[in-house]
Structure 1
Amino acid sequence: MKQVRNEPCKCGSGLKYKKCCLNKKEEFDMKLQSLFDTVEKNKRKARISHCLHPESENCSGKIVRSHAIQNNRILNKLAVNGMLKTMDGESHMIFQDVDTKGRKQATTFKGFCSFHDKITFQPIEDFEFNESAEQLFLYTYRALAWSFHKKLEQVNHIILNMESLKNKGFHFSDDLMLHNSMHLLGHFENESTLKRFNGYLQNENYERVSSYVWTIPYEIKFAVSTMLTIEHDIKGNMINNIKSFRPLKNIYLNIFPGNQESYLLWTWESNHKILEKFAKQFDSLKDKDKKNYLNNNLPRWTDAIVISPDLWDTWGAPIHESIIAHSNFEFLYRAMEEDLGTYAYEYEYTPWNFFE
């Protein structure tokens, strides 16, 4: 029940509520709002504008908003009146939410200058997908660049928040420090990975990326471009132990509509044979299971999903709420899997279907 100002405070002090815990509550609310304001301010300060190309000393033009998913070939196809639904929104600065963005803003990051953005990705921007080694490499490279940029801004945000909160007298738990250390380690691993890929790009060693392509015989209404560290393969065997400090094996996922058909690309560095095994397991699934596997996992894995408003509106509010909840409770699913020891894929119904 709501505490009335002139009634005795429920804390048992004998004072009226307005003379006791009301002041404490107002003081707490002010501190909480100050904390939120600081975090939001630091988020803006943490943003980065740079060119990730290995020959960045030859940059020309300004740093542009590069698209992780092609604007003209893919986003334009999915947009309705120039607008898209994206799963990279935020609710209360903590929870993942769905946002509405114009296609010129969706999936953008300031990761390349105008010159290198144009010449590097021209083979996938200006030509239909043809499964060439160069195209497969570039889809992978761009997903890596986007993930690297986001991780770098995230690390900057963490550092700024730690400094601000320390100055405000906050103390940090060991669990929080470990969590932040894992973020820093992840960034250092990404730096090493980007350096390798920049070398492949310069030397045109496109064969250093292996791939699996699944062709879908119609145009889907969504797109994905992301780098993943999948923990278990489809049969339940461990691929990555994210609780250890050992280097992680990244797999890259691109899904997009083409001309009267669509494509799913799993790509990975060729020396990671365990990821090749995962791709073969995926290939062995029936089409309905491939779709079900992705319907269950995409909201858990990534915020890098762009959805046509036509598909989103077809689902309706109850499904919207369901998929947003699914995307926010990864820790619950992980806890359930650990408790039951069940990591292998099994068909599990979802009210949404990305592949409608």
Structure 2
Amino acid sequence: MENDKVKLGRNDKCWCNSGLKYKKCHLDREREIPVSKAEALKFSKSNSQRKACYAPASMHEDCDKRIVQAHTLSKSSSLKAIADPGNHVMGVVMNLPSLMRNNGRWVPEKIGINQASTFTGFCAVHDRILFSCLENEKFTGTDEQCFALMFRSLSKEIYAKEGGWRSSDFAKKADKGKLQAEQVYIQEFVRLHQSGLNAAMTELNNLKTNLDRILLSRQFSEIESVIFTFSEPLPIAVSSILSPERDFDGTKIQDLNNLTVSTEQVCFNAFSSEGNGYVVFSWLGTSAIIRRFVRSLIKIPTDRIFNTLLYFFFAKAENTYSSPEWWDSLSNKQRENIGNMIMSGVEFFGSPTSRVDHSVDYNAAALVEIRFSNSEISS
């Protein structure tokens, strides 16, 4: 590749497939000034503050153009239920400054509930209309409430993936001032990353098309859900979406490396309301693979459900928050173990140096009920 690049004419298309002429792209790139830390931080800040409204397109004529800091977790109930007296929760801030501050690791730290689990993804009108069934009504697990949880989780994930694409595009500049061999490595790494992002965004947008249709027709029964009810508020709050590669038995159920095959997604939320804790998994009624995934979860002994979900949330969901009081009550070993859970999903190069210890136990909230909505799954 390096020799091929040397032979390129100034007006030939650049080897990196940018579509630009070589003279406008990678010619003499090794002599350019490298991207500075300040430049990277400035981009990271602007990327995290992008504004959009993820309500269905046909509803956009009603937007008031004022994009708000929308909570993917209810501030009025769920976040306040786990906050300390200063209205802080423990969570991981997924941005470059945090990563630099914590020596390359994602570490839970105190976050004010006004900033926790927020994204600028809805205008004020649609944030109020679409999620009033969650913010203003007691949670009873209605079809509309389960749908709203799913719609909000999906919107946040699309927002994050779009931000990831912008970040990877910015990362193409990271080869400035580097030797040609390093340039090739960086551009190939970004290309592969964007290939995966493209596949994920296509699948998420397809799911969004289905949820937009369900929302506009109010056919919420097309969504299936399982609702775990606990006897007391949970010390954690979660809102996320996943294409699971394996079920809770460890059996492979989807090949995430095969980008030619569409994968199926499940949205999951953990929160508290009026003295109870809830965990809700929701999926399209056509998703047979997700039913299999959920079946493997409900087979777990009742006294192990909370710990299993705890491990799952910290390992699989960036958007996970916990009670500072609960966090402070954990032993050093328990906190270290949670740190390893968080990092288990982001250590790309080689094996993690520290493994998650599944023998570590946590105080469990008592499970009192497992209920299904619009699903034939049986426990």
Same fold (TM over 0.5): yes
Matched residue SS, 1:226: strand
**Structure 1 contact 88–304 (Cα < 8 Å) conserved:** no
**1:312-327 counterparts in 2 under 5 A?**
312-327=327-342
What are the ranges of 5 or more consecutive residues in structure 2 without an aligned counterpart?
A: 1-32, 352-356, 367-379
Equivalent residue number for residue 26 of structure 1: none
Residues 270-310 of structure 1: per-residue CA shift (max 9 Å, x gap): 10012112222222221222223223322211111111111
TM-superposed CA distance for 1:46, in Å, is 2.3
Shift of 1:214: 1.2
Query: 1:331 deviation in Å?
Result: 6.5
Confirm whether residue 238 of structure 1 aligns to residue 238 of structure 2.
Answer: no
Following the alignment from structure 2 to structure 1, what is the Cα–Cα distance between the partners of residues 169 and 65?
30
Alpha-carbon contact 1:300-1:328 (below 8 Å) kept: yes
Structure 1 residues 102 and 332, CA, compared in 2 at 3 Å: closer, same or farther? closer
Using the alignment, how far apart are the partners of 1:241 and 1:36 within structure 2? 37
Question: Are 2:289 and 1:274 equivalent residues in the alignment?
Answer: yes
- 1:91 equivalenced with 2:99 (yes/no): yes
Residues 1:78 and 2:86 are matched in the alignment:
no
Cα distance in 1, alignment partners of residues 309 and 326 from structure 2: 16
1:186 to 190, 197, 200: 200
Given residue 46 of structure 1, which amino acid in structure 2 is its aligned partner? N
Contact 1:295 1:353 in 2 (8 A): no
Q: How does 1:1-356 map to 2 (within 5 A)?
A: 34-47=35-48, 48-54=50-56, 55-80=59-84, 81-89=86-94, 90-92=98-100, 94-162=104-172, 164-166=173-175, 168=177, 171-173=183-185, 174-245=188-259, 246-330=261-345, 348-353=358-363, 355=365
Q: Distance in 1 between matches of 2:309 and 2:132?
A: 29
Could you tell me which amino acid in structure 2 is paired with residue 85 of structure 1? M
- State the TM-score, normalizing by the size of structure 2: 0.76
Displacement of 1:332: 6.9
Where does structure 1 lack aligned partners over 5 or more consecutive residues? 1-30, 337-346
Q: How many residue pairs end up in the alignment?
A: 315
**Following the alignment from structure 1 to structure 2, what is the Cα–Cα distance between the partners of residues 269 and 82?**
35
What are the superposed Cα offsets for residues 26-71 of structure 1, whole Å, 9 maximum, x if unpaired?
xxxxx88x45433322222323201110112220151000000000
Q: Does structure 2 retain, via aligned residues, the 8 Å contact 1:292–1:348?
A: no
- Residue 188 of structure 1 deviates from its aligned partner by 2.5
User: Mean Cα displacement is larger for which, 139-148 or 284-293?
Assistant: 284-293
Query: Where does residue 19 of structure 1 map in the other structure?
Result: none
Report the RMSD for the aligned CA atoms in angstroms: 2.6
Deviation at 1:101, TM superposition (A): 1.1
Q: Which deviates the most, 229-238 or 50-59?
A: 229-238
Seq. identity, %: 19
**Matched residue of 2:268: which SS?**
strand
Q: Which amino acid aligns with 1:261?
A: N
Alignment match, 2:20: none
Q: What secondary structure sits across from 2:141 in the alignment? A: coil
TM-score (norm 1): 0.81
Cα distance change, pair 335–133 in 1 and its aligned pair in 2 (3 A): farther
3-state SS of 1:118 partner: helix
Distance 1:330 1:116, change over 3 A: closer
Q: Is the 8 Å Cα contact of residues 66 and 111 (structure 1) preserved in structure 2?
A: yes
Amino acid corresponding to residue 92 of structure 1 in structure 2: M
Structure 1 residues 244 and 187, CA gap change in structure 2 (3 angstroms): same
